[in-house]
Chain A
Amino acid sequence: MTNLKFLLLFFLAISIIAETTIFSFPFVVIFSLFLFVLFPQFSIMAFIFISGIILDSLKSETVGATSLFLFLVFVILSIYQRVFNLKDLYVLLFFVLISSIIYANLFNYGINIFIYMAFFGIIFFIVKYIGKNTP
């Protein structure tokens, strides 16, 4: 699990530059959501907060907008987890998909639904494969 944490943190760090330079896709939102659900620790939340600030400054967006969006989603997610005892990874994937589409729509990323479906389809397949092979 520690390896997974560092892997997600690494991808989040890379996404900060890649997102506004190579691919216009909300990778920061996606990796932040996965990190928050799997490792809801203070250090992870602080890393996500700083990542959001840096991403906004590199996009020349109003700084704080991404962090505000992310932590609002985290609050909604944690309330949902409390009320419905969310453990199903597929529901989480759906939540991540909807959040990333809303974020992309709000911040001029351009929404290509097919790319989103393909990306989340791959993640769904990976999760299902890992779930089958994990004892």
Chain B
Amino acid sequence: MFEKGTPISCIRCLYKSDHPFGLTFHDGVCSGCSYHEEKNELDWHERKIRVLKVVKPYRSKSGNYDCIVPVTGGQDSFFLMHLVVNELRLRPLMVNFNRNFNSKIGLSNLARLRSIFDCDFQQFTPNPELTRRVIRTTLRELGTLNWFWIAGQTSYPLKIAKQKGIPLIIWGAHQGNEQVGMYKHVDEVEMTKRYRREFDLLGEDENSISRYDLEASTDELQCIRYLSDNEIAAAGIRGIYLGNYFRWDPVRQHRFVIQNYGYQGKSSNRTYYKFDNPDCNFYNEVQDKLKFMKLGYSKVTDQLVRDIRHGRKRRSTAKYLQKFYESRSPNYQVEFARWLGATRDSVDLLYLINDRNFTKRVLKHDWREESEVSATKKMEEFRRRVGLRFGSTSELGDKENSSFGKGQE
């Protein structure tokens, strides 16, 4: 959704009109900031009463679970479980799609989540080699290493819902709302296949991804298949977002779960905030750099925008921090290349081919047609010419907090 010409900036936060989700403006204020203004106007007590009515028909009378809660070792899982168990008084089944490259802190958080809330937990671990093969394709074609995991994390709960007869799936916040204010809180937007395909999976679902030179068969991708409309209808599956009913502030929530449940974070080179996605070594590092090259902004911008909207930072301070962190080199590049079965230089090549300004600067033809050897030579030439630094190859990152392979305890 890039616009030609200079993107318009929001007068309050750091987002611009070329945000990949789209952004609208009213008197210079973006739709995401408008969405956050609603949080000061809503009657949250009334919203809680509302969600209790929504979930009431799903309370099991036969001893089955009341709902499914998709969890990870990071993000909002702890607070989500706190709301489901302690506020809504539901009996959940936690589910997780193993991303296969979890950090030790992420595994520890997940274990703590299971023991603290004393709820049943079900996990699916895809074949690690399949994971690598799909990631190589999505890195090349979509510029992301997260596609496969998101496809699984958003489809696995539905499969379990159908298998076990648990129609209600409860999520935390709707990312489209929290970032760009796609809907109003009172619209009570729910989980949809369209949103998953268009935004979570960058326009390509498990059916369309095979048009690329995918190193995986259709059968192998069954593990990330989203249920059909008929299957969803027959099982009565429905996915709600608690962000529509509880005042959502991830930073405040993280403080709460750190204090009450021992949630742990992990430092990153590219952001000041250590409590988003500590469960993945690559998300805040290599993936973040890729995001920056593709879109022109990083995760730190999302976090700064969040802080601005919740009144924790001024825009001027945020702009300075944005520039500082976006220029920093990612960690774990060597480890990532090793895990992927690629060379360290390949990681630099990925940044280059996903750079949205690349064709303007250097290219006259498509990099994808080049062999890796000649592409590497061209990249070195490019580096010398423009003086770019992607980080020393001797950087090994924090080995104590690294965990690769199946990612199981």
Report if A and B associate in a common complex.
no
Listed in ascending order, the chain A residues whose CB lies under 8 Å from chain B are none
Listed in ascending order, the chain B residues whose CB lies under 8 Å from chain A are none
